[in-house]
Amino acid sequence: MTAAPPAPTVRLRRSAGVPLPGARRLVRLELRRNAMLWLLPWAVALFGLVAHRTGAAAPPLWNVRAMSMQTGALAVFVPTVIGAAAWMGSREARLGLTDLLTGTARSRWARHLASWAATSCWALAAYLAGVTVLYAVVARQAAWGGPLWWPAAVGAATMPALSALGFAAGVLLPSRFTAPLAAVGVFVTLELSLQLIHGGRSPLQVLPVVAGPWELGTDAGVAVFHPYLPDLPVVQLMFLAGLTAALVAALGLPAGSAGPRSRRAAAAITAAGLLLAGTATALAGTGRLDEHGLIAIPALHSAAGDRPVPYTPVCSTTAIPVCLHPAYTAYLAALAARLAPVLSDVAGLTGAPVRLSQAATVYEQGPGNTVEIRMAAPRIGGTPPVLHFLLPVQLAGPTMTVDQAADAVRAEAGPALVATVIGDVTGPAQAAVTAALLGTAAPAADPATVAAARRFAALPPATRHAWLLEHLPALRAGRLPLARVP
Amino acid sequence: MNVEITDLTRRFGRVRAVAGVSLQAGPGVLGLLGPNGAGKTTLLRTLATVISPSSGRIRLLGRDPGAHRQRREIRRRLGYVPQNLGYYPGFTVVEFVEYFALLKEMPPATVSRAVASTVERVGLGDKATAKLRTLSGGMLRRVAIAQGIVNEPELLLLDEPTAGLDPELRVEFRALLRELGQRATVVVSTHLVEDVGSACARVALMDRGRVVFHGTPAELSARAEGTNAAGDAPLERGYSAVLAESRS
Distance CA A269, CA A246 (A): 6
3-state helix, strand, coil in chain B (%, to 5): 40, 25, 35
pLDDT in tens, A364-374: 888 877 888 88
Output the CATH code of domain B1-77+191-248: 3.40.50.300
Are A224 and A63 in contact by the 8 Å Cβ rule? The answer is: yes
Q: Return the residue of B nearest to A18 by Cα.
A: B105
What distance in Å separates residue A221's CA from the closest CA in chain B? 50
Q: What percent of chain A has pLDDT over 70?
A: 94
Distance CA B49, CA B69 (A): 13
Print burial letters for B170-187: b (CB count within 10 Å at least 16), e (below 16).
Answer: bebbbbbbbbbbeebbbb
Q: Return the residue of B nearest to A34 by Cα.
A: B90
CB contact under 8 A, B123 and A104: no
- Does B72 contact A at CB distance below 8 Å? yes
Query: Which residues of chain A have a CB within 8 Å of the CB of B86?
Result: 92, 95-98, 100
Q: Return the residue of B nearest to A258 by Cα.
A: B68
Q: Return the residue of A nearest to B113 by Cα.
A: A8
Distance CA A390, CA A374 (A): 9
Are A70 and A208 in contact by the 8 Å Cβ rule? The answer is: yes
CA A275, A277, A281, A283 dihedral sign is positive
Lowest mean pLDDT, pick from A303-312, A368-377, A434-443, B157-166: A434-443
Residue A359 has pLDDT above 70, yes or no: yes
Predicted confidence at residue A15, as pLDDT, reads 42
Predicted confidence at residue A14, as pLDDT, reads 40
- Does A104 contact B at CB distance below 8 Å? yes
Predicted confidence at residue B94, as pLDDT, reads 96
Q: Residue window 188-227, chain B: list those with CB within 8 Å of chain A.
A: none
Q: Tell me the mean pLDDT in the region A306-317.
A: 94
CA B18, B22, B25, B29 dihedral sign is negative
pLDDT in tens, A376-407: 888 888 888 999 999 988 887 777 888 999 99
pLDDT in tens, A93-129: 999 999 999 999 999 999 999 999 999 999 999 999 9
Predicted confidence at residue B171, as pLDDT, reads 86
Are A169 and A178 in contact by the 8 Å Cβ rule? The answer is: yes
Predicted confidence at residue A480, as pLDDT, reads 84
DSSP conformation letters of B155-182: EEEEESTTTT--HHHHHHHHHHHHHHHT
Query: Which residues of chain B have a CB within 8 Å of the CB of A10?
Result: 106-107, 110, 114, 151-152
Confidence of residue A18 (pLDDT cuts 50, 70, 90): very low
- CB-nearest to B121 from A5, A22, A104 is A5
Q: Return the residue of A nearest to B114 by Cα.
A: A8
Predicted confidence at residue A7, as pLDDT, reads 44
CB contact under 8 A, A33 and B98: no
Residue A148 has pLDDT above 70, yes or no: yes
Distance CA B242, CA B196 (A): 16
CA distances from B48 to A105, B58, B245 (A): 11, 11, 30
CA distances from B122 to A5, A409, B136, B149 (A): 11, 79, 14, 10
Distance CA B65, CA B74 (A): 7
Please, which residues bridge with residue B28 across strands? B185
Predicted confidence at residue A13, as pLDDT, reads 38
CA distances from A301 to A226, A252, A305, B160 (A): 14, 36, 8, 67
Question: What pTM does this model have?
Answer: 0.89
Residue A20 has pLDDT above 60, yes or no: no
Are A458 and A410 in contact by the 8 Å Cβ rule? The answer is: no
pLDDT in tens, B140-197: 989 999 999 999 999 999 998 887 778 888 888 888 888 889 989 999 998 778 788 8
Distance CA B119, CA B135 (A): 14
Pick out chain B residues at pLDDT < 50.
none
User: E strands, chain B, where?
Assistant: 3-12, 15-25, 28-33, 55-60, 78-81, 155-159, 185-189, 202-207, 210-215
Q: Whose CA is closest to A295, among A382, A368, A189, A216?
A: A216
Predicted confidence at residue B138, as pLDDT, reads 87
Tell me if ipTM is over 0.85: yes
What distance in Å separates residue B202's CA from the closest CA in chain A? 20
- Does A3 contact B at CB distance below 8 Å? yes
Predicted confidence at residue A2, as pLDDT, reads 58
CB contact under 8 A, B105 and A11: no
pLDDT in tens, A314-350: 999 999 999 999 999 999 999 999 999 999 989 989 8
Distance CA B98, CA A68 (A): 42
Which of B52, B103, B169 has the highest number of chain A CBs within 10 A, making it the mutation to test binding with A?
B103
CA distances from A315 to A222, A325, A332, B201 (A): 21, 9, 8, 97
Q: What percent of chain A has pLDDT over 90?
A: 54
- CB-nearest to B108 from A9, A16, A21 is A21
Predicted confidence at residue A449, as pLDDT, reads 84
CB contact under 8 A, B88 and A33: yes
What distance in Å separates residue B144's CA from the closest CA in chain A? 10
Distance CA A140, CA A147 (A): 12
CB contact under 8 A, B45 and A21: no
What distance in Å separates residue B35's CA from the closest CA in chain A? 22
Which of B50, B80, B105, B113 has the highest number of chain A CBs within 10 A, making it the mutation to test binding with A?
B105
CA A116, B86, B56, B153 dihedral sign is negative
Q: Return the residue of B nearest to A19 by Cα.
A: B105
Between the CA atoms of A375, A376, A382 and A385, what dihedral angle is there, to the nearest 10 degrees? -20
| Whole-number CA gyration radius for chain B | 18
CB contact under 8 A, A105 and B105: yes
DSSP conformation letters of A19-47: PHHHHHHHHHHHHHT-HHHHHHHHHHHHI
